[in-house]
Structure 1
Amino acid sequence: MNYSIYAESTPNPAVMKFVSNRILIAENMEILTVEDAKQMPLAAAIFNFPFVKGLFISGNFIAITKNADVKWDDIAMQLRIFITDFLNKEGVVVKELKTIKKVGKKKEQETLNFSEMEQKIADILDEYIRPAVESDGGFISLRSFENGVVSVVLKGACSGCPSSSLTLKQGIESLLKQRFPEKIKNVVAYEE
């Protein structure tokens, strides 16, 4: 079956989501430099476009961050055709998964030795928040919970998104305060 790609806008005006009819990768990966893309032929090829600032690949999509010098109207079709052709000819998204830094794997979260409360928060993020964030080309994971402050890591389209603070406060923080009254004071984004 050939790959078919369509472009989808995200709440972040600097990021466009390119969605495939097939799974591209089982992990979540953020690629911010050509160096990061060494074992990822598709990502390395996309970085050849001078306007590409970063990529986030998860499941069946690639979220591409562009610089401010170009408009999506001028480049989205070019990228969509390029990705489709590359996948149908090369078909290689990742050469060797072992050597690539993965972002936010569930097993990675479990190895953080979360407290019982942190695990409850992580489970709520996984069940209620992550699907919505991923549908917008992003990724969220719990970093920590300390003194009533929930710290989350945002990747992909969420990183640098103008509406991410609104999502944190009105979406995530209100849900967690509802679930755990008097335990949650604030939700903040952790910058790596």
Structure 2
Amino acid sequence: MFIQTESTPNPATLKFLPGQSVLAAGTADFPNEAAAEASPLAARIFATGNVTGVFFGPDFVTVTKADGVEWAHIKPGILGAIMEHFQSGQPVLGDESGTVGHAVHDGPDGEIVNQIKELLDTRVRPAVAQDGGDITFHGFDRGIVYLHMQGACAGCPSSTMTLKMGIENLLRHYIPEVVEVRPVAA
């Protein structure tokens, strides 16, 4: 098994490509070791030490390291953990409870919210997945779109620029009711 790695715009995060499917659908975010208990693979990666976050996409694993730790010191252990997991035959998730998607929005803005989700799914999420992350809809209130950033996008130095210059401009262009985009914490 050969696992490729790619850098991301977030220097604390590295994208691992195992060359096979990681998740059949959706994404899964494990922002801490306690959350990783739902995933044998995430738990194995956290066990290597100095890992502060793990995120799964369809064909990649994104790992965020602790501050002050060099990738050269922890990357071999993470590669080994990923390889061991896929060779073990264990499932990536113990159940599907770790998978995340857009939040459900009940209210009078249903059509606007559907347009927002459609633009996120077709224009935004594929692009941020290339960088090892995901952005999901969290809410819409009085013209403000709330988005949840995960994987390499969470804590990325360029995430504010991505939100304001990229996603906000895109949504405002297609949906006049959108006036601002804001991130929300997990």
Contact 1:51 1:69 in 2 (8 A): no
Contact 2:15 2:63 in 1 (8 A): yes
Does the C-alpha gap of structure 1 residues 35 and 78 become closer, same or farther in structure 2, counting only changes over 3 Å? Answer: closer
- Where in structure 2 are there 5+ consecutive unaligned residues? none
Contact 2:15 2:61 in 1 (8 A): yes
- Secondary structure of the residue that 1:38 maps to in structure 2? helix
Find the aligned partners of 1:126 and 1:103 in 2 and give their Cα distance. 13
Is 1:156 aligned to 2:151, yes or no? yes
Is 1:103 aligned to 2:79, yes or no? no
Contact 1:52 1:65 in 2 (8 A): yes
Matches within 5 A, 1:30-41: 30-41=29-40
Contact 1:10 1:16 in 2 (8 A): yes
**Identity across matched positions, percent:** 36
Aligned length: 183
1:189 pairs with 143, 158, 183, which one? 183
Match of 2:61 in 1: 62
Bigger Cα displacement from structure 2, 124-133 vs 146-155:
146-155
1:74 to partner: Cα distance: 3.1
Does the C-alpha gap of structure 1 residues 96 and 75 become closer, same or farther in structure 2, counting only changes over 3 Å? Answer: closer
Contact 2:16 2:62 in 1 (8 A): yes
When the two structures are superposed, what TM-score results if normalisation uses the length of structure 1? Answer: 0.87
When the two structures are superposed, what TM-score results if normalisation uses the length of structure 2? Answer: 0.89
Match of 1:169 in 2: 164
Does the C-alpha gap of structure 1 residues 119 and 95 become closer, same or farther in structure 2, counting only changes over 3 Å? Answer: closer
